[in-house]
C-alpha cells in the first residue's frame, strides 16, 4: 500500500504567476482534500474533490481551483499568485462511502514561496 505523495517538494514563484501542485492519493482512496498551512498556523481547508467533482470549499477565492482525475490523483492550481500564498500545501486522501469520509491520510506537502 503506497502512501500519499505530493510534487514538487519545494517551489519558488513570483507574484502574478500561476502554479500547479500535484497529489497522488493512497491506493483505494476516492476523496482528496487540500489544505493551506501558513508558517506557525494550523492547516486551513481549501476544498475537497470526490469522484472528480468539487465537494465542499473553504474560504478561498476562485483563483484557487482544482482537478481530480479518474485515477483519483489531484491538482491544485493557483492563479495570480500573491505574497500571502506562501505556505505549505497539504493534500489528504480518504475513502468516502455513504456520505461519510473515513480517516484522512496526509501527504508530506509542497512548500510554495512567492517572491
Partner 1 sequence: KQEVTQIPAALSVPEGENLVLNCSFTDSAIYNLQWFRQDPGKGLTSLLLIQSSQREQTSGRLNASLDKSSGRSTLYIAASQPGDSATYLCAVEEGAQKLVFGQGTRLTINP
Whether the CB-CB separation of 26 and 2 falls below 8 Å is answered with: yes
Q: Does 40 bind partner 1 (CB under 8 A)?
A: yes
Binding test (CB under 8 A) with partner 1, winner from 11, 22, 86, 88: 88
Select the span of 12-20, 39-47, 66-74, 76-84 touching partner 1 (CB under 8 A). Answer: 39-47
Q: Is 90 in the site for partner 1 (CB under 8 A)?
A: yes
Q: Give me the least distance between CB of 30 and partner 1, in Å please.
A: 12
- Positions that interact with partner 1 (CB under 8 A): 4, 33, 35, 40-45, 48, 55-56, 58, 88, 90, 92, 96, 99-101, 103-109, 111
Amino acid at each position: 500500500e503506497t502512501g500519499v505523495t505530493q510534487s514538487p517538494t519545494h517551489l519558488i514563484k513570483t507574484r502574478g504567476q500561476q502554479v500547479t501542485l500535484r497529489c497522488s492519493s493512497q491506493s483505494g482512496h476516492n476523496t482528496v482534500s487540500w489544505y493551506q498551512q501558513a508558517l506557525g498556523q494550523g492547516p486551513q481547508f481549501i476544498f475537497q474533490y470526490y469522484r472528480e467533482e468539487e465537494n465542499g470549499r473553504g474560504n478561498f477565492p476562485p483563483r484557487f481551483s482544482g482537478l481530480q482525475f479518474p485515477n483519483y490523483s489531484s491538482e491544485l492550481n493557483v492563479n495570480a499568485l500573491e505574497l500571502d500564498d506562501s505556505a505549505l500545501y497539504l493534500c489528504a486522501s480518504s475513502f468516502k462511502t455513504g456520505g461519510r469520509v473515513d480517516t484522512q491520510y496526509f501527504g508530506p506537502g509542497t512548500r510554495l514561496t512567492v517572491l
